[in-house]
Amino acid sequence: MTVTPETALAPDAALIERLAHGAVADLPEPWRAAATHVVIRVEDFASDEILDAMQIADPFELTGLYEGTPLTEKSVSDQPMGPDVIWLFRRAILDEWIDRGNVSLAELVTHVVIHELAHHFGWSDEDIAVVDPWWE
């Protein structure tokens, strides 16, 4: 079937998740292997609890969130509380993608994933720039 404007559908959560996993697969080592241990979850919007905790009134303002303990703060004596998670919020991502109009959806999802992985890895802005040339 040929996709036309009349038959096109908005990118769904499964596509956002595939793009996110692609971003992880494209990371250089040693980051790639470590990043595969972070769970990626896609929801349309952040929950009211997350928005309230972050004092965000507009759910379109939050495209992603890292939930976990950064590797720089973990200890072998810590009790595992579950996997670290990167939350991607599809509707906010799509809204930003449309507003920007100058990046592909894959580029934007990659940027959000890298930003959230930066929290996991404890990366500086310089570290992020090596992995994500977004700012060039």
pLDDT digits (tens, 9 = 90+) for 86-123: 999 999 999 999 999 899 999 999 999 999 999 998 88
pLDDT at residue 130 in the model? 81
Q: Where does the pLDDT of residue 80 fall: very low under 50, low under 70, confident under 90, or very high at 90 and above?
A: low
The domain 13-70+83-135 is placed in CATH, from the list 3.90.700.10, 3.40.309.10, 3.30.43.10, 3.30.2010.20, at: 3.30.2010.20
Domain residue limits, the chain = 13-70+83-135
* pTM confidence score: 0.88
pLDDT digits (tens, 9 = 90+) for 11-49: 999 999 999 999 999 998 888 998 999 999 999 999 999
* Residue of 5 and 38 predicted with greater confidence: 38
List own/partner pairs for 27-31 with CB under 8 A and 24 or more apart.
Answer: 27/117, 27/131, 28/131, 31/117, 31/121, 31/131
